[in-house]
Amino acid sequence: HGVSQPDSESGFIRSYYGDAGLDSATRKMLIYEQRRRLPAFKHRMQLLYAVENNPVTVIVGEPGSGKSTQLPQYLYESGWAADGKKIACTQPRRVAAAMLAQRVSEEMGVELGTTVGYSVRFSDASDPQMTRIKYLTDGTLIRECLADPLLSAYSVVMVDEAQDRSIATDTLLALLKKILHKRKADLRVIISSATLDAEGFRSFFEKDSSIIVSISGQPFPVDTQYLAAPCENYLACAAETVVNIHEKEAPGDILVFLPGKDAILTVLAELEEQQYGNHRLESLLLLPMYAGISASDQKVVFDLAQKGMRKVILSTNVAETSVTIDGVVYVVDCGLVKQRVFDVATGIDRLVTRTISRSSAKQRAGRAGRTQSGKVYRLYTHEAFNSSLFTQHDVPEISRLSLATMVLTLKALGVSNLVRFDYFQPPPPELLSQALEMLAGLGAIDMQSGLLTADLGLHLAELPLDPPLGVCLLNSVAKFACVREAVGAVAMLSLGDSPFVIPSGRRSEALEDRREFIAQEGDVLTLVNVLLGYQETPVRVRQQWCHLHFLNPRLLDQAARISRQLESYLVRMGHRDSLRISCGRDFALLQKCLVSGFFTNVARLDKLDGRYRLIRSGQIIDIHPSSVYFSMDAKPDYVAFASAMDTTKLYMQGITAIDPGWLTEIAPHYFSIK
């Protein structure tokens, strides 16, 4: 029935009870008992009653109380999906949607992708007929609205993790409010949140038709420790704290919050090094956890540690509310988070590491007190925590990110007046007008009518891609005759991670091998070479091929899958015959195609100091060390880039050499010749 295999990214695929050879009756019993112990269970009737009698129910409960896994099952068991309709449960994060579907299918004893399924960008493990409980990302459900504006396939929509306030969550809340006007009788909306800001959600909907249910269990006390003086290097400090806990404290797992993958890998390496030759540390089981980690690494995170072992989970803020790992007694909080921030002035989306909010710090601490009293080690001082360094709450995405995708979707759904739209929280006007300008610049919106353009805008809204990437894909068919390469480029750029690996101690060998793929035209063409090489290799030897060429097979498999999805979108749009169109050796076609999507991200080499400057603002931007241009002596005069990152410096990634003449040719409305 066309159910695709759950991908490796959906990770976490593994029986919670391990493969310990339990017979199915015992497993069922254990699962049943565990389900009964969750705080949600005590509120089962109250929850069902609330949903029965109110169009909107707001549920508040600590992470781990059973909102995401139990409530959809309660609804299913009491007949909310009996008449062929589905129960939707949306998540801000793809990895959480996949993981929850896996967990719930296991609890219900059904195969994933049948009664319980999930659907996220580029990966669908659900069945149009059979699936009754469907986990999706908010963005995926919004895209379903394009085909089914009243979401008539669903009887209940549960917007989970609403406290995250992603743009997609906010947009979905606004859409659901509109849909409820038409489906008050037969649609139920549930909003679930980990924090106590329930009133805000409720008052957005009509108060007399909504209700708040709180299902918090009694959390245990958490003892908070601060640093006496600020630390110089929080990564070293995190590793040291873990070792100290292990040596001085009672048994219990440790959860360490770090801002991102790089930080996680650094601390991991540090701890591994200390473990070497120190048998007291041998009982530490080190487990990294971030989006995009391999399935085999992820699945161990949820297993209870063997007797005598202590798990140390090194995690991004995905473990703050989205996933709950049992057994955690100690939390180490470095106080930082990686956040995307859109800079209206430069038009660049940046990844910045910043201080978390106090409410975030509280959530993190709470992870230590779920099953017994715990301790949180904050790697900052008490003074800092009370200073203006820490804000009270996080700034929601709608106030700090590019709104291009949201605007595109709202337009596609027929919202003509974006200023008067009933938002959950109105976006800042400058972000709104920037998004409109950008979409107009890309050719997706007609500025005169304010409507999506028929040739580009309407199709762009259907694609699950950032608008610039979507424009590259569509223009590869319409204008630049490089479909094969553009599909590969867009797929590789959608990965968000580099496929090149450098095994420790084999750096020069790996770099030498990489040269085989490197294109003078830059990173994007290099990535396309890699993917085409992978796709041309017979399936059974692909793993070997990746190993030989120092490439990550999981990411390439994912890219190949994304390519196929992109192709199916193009087929649906009537471009089946175009799929084979290749630019051959005429790489300028692909370069121009990339410029048509990324003409706002252009930089020029300043010969005086040898550094690049953004054309728009003159700001200095450097080549990221992962780029092929980083170590090349001859650097192109002009480049376009796919993304920028702001760590210690502003870096560009996914770089392509361009001819400045193309800018005025492809985006004359944006550039004029000086």
What are the residues binding ligand ADP (CB under 6 A)? 12, 16, 38, 61, 63-70, 99, 103, 302, 324, 326
Are 461 and 414 a contacting pair, CB within 8 Å? no
**Which DSSP string do the residues of 579-601 spell out, in sequence order?**
TT---TT-HHHHHHHHHHHHTTS
| CA dist., res. 55 & res. 53, Å (int) | 7
**Least separation in angstroms between CB 632 and ligand ADP:** 45
Smallest gap from Cβ 157 to ligand ADP, in A, equals 16
What 3-state DSSP class applies to 534?
A: helix
The answer to whether 335 and 265 are in contact (CB under 8 A) is: no
In contact, 447 and 440? CB cutoff 8 Å: yes
Nearer to ligand ADP, 218 or 648 (CB): 218
Q: Where are the beta strands (DSSP E) in 278-403?
A: 284-289, 310-315, 328-333, 336-343, 348-355, 374-381
Q: What is the DSSP letter of 395?
A: P
Closer CB to ligand ADP, 100 or 477, in the complex: 100
- Token readout for 628 is 């092929």
Q: Which residue lies nearer to ligand ADP by CB, 326 or 497?
A: 326
In the bound state with ligand ADP, the residue whose beta carbon lies nearer, of 31 and 352, is: 31
Between residues 158 and 445, which has the closer beta carbon with respect to ligand ADP? 158
What is the Cα–Cα distance from 138 to 129, expressed in whole angstroms? 21
CB of 263: closest distance to ligand ADP in angstroms? 24
Phi-psi region of 136 (alpha: psi -120 to 50; beta: other; left: phi over 0): beta
Q: Based on CB atoms, which residue is closest to ligand ADP, 65 or 355? A: 65
Least gap, CB of 469 to ligand ADP (angstroms):
31
User: Given the structure tokens 């859409």, which residue do they identify?
Assistant: 175
Buried b (16+ CB within 10 A) or exposed e, 365-389: bbbbbbeeebbbbbbbbeebbeeee
Sign of the Cα pseudo-torsion (21, 22, 25, 28, in order): negative
Q: Considering Cα of 274, then 279, then 281, then 287, what sign does the dihedral take? A: positive
- Of 64 and 470, CB closest to ligand ADP: 64
Would you say 303 or 521 has its CB closer to ligand ADP? Answer: 303
Q: In degrees, to the nearest 5, what angle opens at C-alpha 193 toward C-alphas 189 and 197?
A: 105
Cβ within 8 Å of residue 426, ≥6 positions away: none
β-partners of residue 212 are 58
Q: Supply the minimum distance, in Å, between the C-beta of residue 140 and ligand ADP.
A: 19
| Least CB distance to ligand ADP at residue 45 (A) | 18
Compute φ and ψ for 138, nearest 5 degrees: -55, -40
User: In whole angstroms, how close is the CB of 535 to ligand ADP at the nearest point?
Assistant: 33
Q: Determine which helix (DSSP H) or strand (DSSP E) holds 432, and give its type and residue range.
A: helix 429-442
Residue 256's H or E segment, with its range, is strand 253-257
326 or 513, CB closer to ligand ADP?
Answer: 326
Say which residue the tokens 């509310």 belong to.
321
In which element (H, E) is residue 211 found?
strand 210-214
Cβ proximity to ligand ADP: between 196 and 447 the closer is 196
**Residue with Cβ nearer ligand ADP (38 or 58):** 38
Report in angstroms how near the CB of residue 11 gets to ligand ADP at its nearest.
9
- Closer residue to ligand ADP (CB): 68 or 346: 68
- 129, 80, 77, 123: which is closest to 102 by C-alpha? 123
C-alpha dihedral sign at 624, 629, 633, 634: negative
- Three-state secondary structure of 109-177: CCCCCCCEEEEECCEEECCCCCCCEEEEEHHHHHHHHHHCCCCCCEEEEEECCHHHCCHHHHHHHHHHH
